[in-house]
Amino acid sequence: MKLKQLKNNIYVLQAMWILIVIVATVVIILGSDKLLSLDKVNGEETPGADMTVTDNSDYSDIIWQVKTIGENMNLPENKVDMSGFENQILYTDAIYYDVVKPISKDLIEEKNTAKKKKMVAFTFDDGPYPAVTNRILDVLEENNAKATFFVIGDRALLYSETIQRINELGCQVANHTCGHKQLSKLKEESIVYEVEHSNALINKVIDVGNVMLRPPYGDYNKLVSNTVKVPMITWSVDSEDWKSRDKDKIIKEVLNTIGENDIILMHDLYGTTADAVEYLVPYLISKGYELVTVEELFERNDIELTAGKVYSDAK
Ligand code: NI
- Torsion angle, alpha carbons of 253, 308, 216, 157, to 10: 110
Alpha carbon of 138 to ligand 1 centroid (Å): 22
pLDDT of residue 219: 97
Q: Which helix (H) or strand (E) holds 283?
A: helix 271-286
pLDDT of residue 290: 97
Q: Three-state DSSP class for 95?
A: strand
Alpha carbon of 243 to ligand 1 centroid (Å): 13
Instruction: Name the band, by pLDDT with cuts 50, 70 and 90, for residue 26.
Output: low
Instruction: Name the band, by pLDDT with cuts 50, 70 and 90, for residue 110.
Output: low
- Tell me which of 7-16, 184-193, 224-233 is least confident: 7-16
Question: DSSP label at 99?
Answer: E
Q: What distance in Å separates the CA atoms of residue 51 and residue 67, rounded to the nearest whole number?
A: 14
Q: What's the predicted TM-score (pTM) here?
A: 0.66
Instruction: Name the band, by pLDDT with cuts 50, 70 and 90, for residue 2.
Output: low
8 Å CB contact between 173 and 196? no
8 Å CB contact between 173 and 208? yes
Q: What distance in Å separates the CA atoms of residue 35 and residue 85, rounded to the nearest whole number?
A: 11
- Tell me which of 25-34, 92-101, 197-206 is least confident: 92-101
Per-residue pLDDT at 237 exceeds 60: yes
In whole numbers, what is the pLDDT of the chain averaged over residues? Answer: 79
Instruction: Supply the residues annotated as catalytic.
Output: 125, 267
Residues 6+ apart with CB under 8 A from 223: 184, 188, 191
Alpha carbon of 40 to ligand 1 centroid (Å): 55
Sign of CA dihedral 124, 130, 135, 141: positive
Count CA atoms within 13 Å of residue 259 on its CB side.
6
Identity at 257, one-letter amino acid code: T
Per-residue pLDDT at 199 exceeds 90: yes
Q: What is the pLDDT of residues 255-281, one digit of tens each?
A: 999 999 999 999 999 999 999 999 999
Instruction: Name the band, by pLDDT with cuts 50, 70 and 90, for residue 116.
Output: low
Q: Three-state DSSP class for 147?
A: coil
- Residue percentage of the chain with pLDDT more than 70: 69
**More confidently predicted of 18 and 50:** 18
Q: Alpha helices, DSSP H only, in the chain?
A: 2-32, 38-42, 59-72, 105-116, 130-142, 153-158, 160-168, 188-205, 222-227, 241-244, 247-257, 271-286, 294-300
Q: Which helix (H) or strand (E) holds 173?
A: strand 172-175
pLDDT of residue 36: 37
Measured CA to CA in angstroms, residue 58 lies from 79, 93, 110, 145 at distances of 21, 18, 16, 29
Alpha carbon of 139 to ligand 1 centroid (Å): 22
pLDDT of residue 64: 34
Give the count of beta carbons closer than 10 Å to the beta carbon of residue 275: 18
Sign of CA dihedral 155, 298, 165, 117: positive
pLDDT of residue 32: 39
Sign of CA dihedral 56, 60, 64, 67: positive
Mean local confidence (pLDDT), 272-298 = 97
> Which residues have beta carbons under 5 A from ligand 1 (an ion)?
125-126, 216
